[in-house]
Structure 1
Amino acid sequence: MTTDKTGAPTDVTAEADRFSISVDGQKAGFTEFIDVGNQRVFPHTEIDDAFGGRGLATILVQEALDKTRADGLRIVAVCSMVAGFIDKHPEYADSVDPLTTDLKRALAHR
């Protein structure tokens, strides 16, 4: 079990279109995704202000990216939190694809 900076236990759950993170059973945030072919696009991540500064975005994004790679999907980081995490953790770089014009078109029609 992963704990946040305060030592509180966290739980990351995969849902149909997002990964959510809870602290002590209380939902604290999420990162949305859209699967397009063999790519998982992350457009938005949000952590509730009440849980800020506890490292939850880092825990959430890392678990989401690890699950994405385990599922054999490529990562497309549209969200600045996801892109920032990847910049700080180059071990994910080999699993990242750029946001292409074709992908932008596909996302616009969803």
Structure 2
Amino acid sequence: MSDIELVHNPALKRYEAHLDGQLAGFAEYMLADKLTVFTHTEVNPAFEGRGVGGAIARLGLDDVRDNGVNKVMALCPFIKVWIQKHPDYEPLVYGD
């Protein structure tokens, strides 16, 4: 199994995962004053079940945490549930 290559693509405002030279999935976001709003996450069906969605979520949330300025608003249901399953990320959530 190939390793997932993870990249932040600020030009498209999304975090991406690539597998076998193909875009396997992405999480889109919008920026507001001190807020990163995750709006949509999508995994190519050909790559489902290989940890792509979780890897993208972790990349995006780690990037926000490492930046140290923004809070997170998860409008995307996948990111919202992922945070609930990984409570160490809950301090990033706006309003918590």
TM over 0.5: yes
List gaps (5 residues or longer) in structure 1.
1-6, 99-110
List gaps (5 residues or longer) in structure 2.
none
SS at match of 1:76: strand
Q: What do you get for the CA RMSD once the two structures are aligned?
A: 1.0
Is 1:94 the equivalent of 2:88?
A: no
CA drift of 1:90 comes to: 0.5
Q: Residue deviations 1:67-86, cap 9 Å, x none?
A: 11111221111101100110
SS at match of 2:38: strand
SS at match of 1:46: strand
Q: What corresponds to 1:71 in structure 2?
A: 67
Q: By percentage of residues, which structure has more strand? A: 2
Task: Return the match for 2:18 from 22, 32, 36.
Answer: 22
Structure exhibiting the larger radius of gyration computed from Cα positions = 1
CA drift of 1:54 comes to: 1.0
Higher relative contact order, chain-length normalized (CA < 8 Å, sep 6+): 2
Map 1:1-12 → 2, pairs under 5 A: 7-12=1-6
TM-score by length of 2: 0.90
What letter is aligned with 1:14? Answer: H
Q: Residue deviations 1:53-98, cap 9 Å, x none?
A: 1111001101110011111221111101100110000011111015
Q: What corresponds to 1:48 in structure 2?
A: 44
CA drift of 1:11 comes to: 1.1
SS at match of 2:50: coil
CA drift of 1:18 comes to: 0.4
Task: Return the match for 1:59 from 55, 71, 90.
Answer: 55
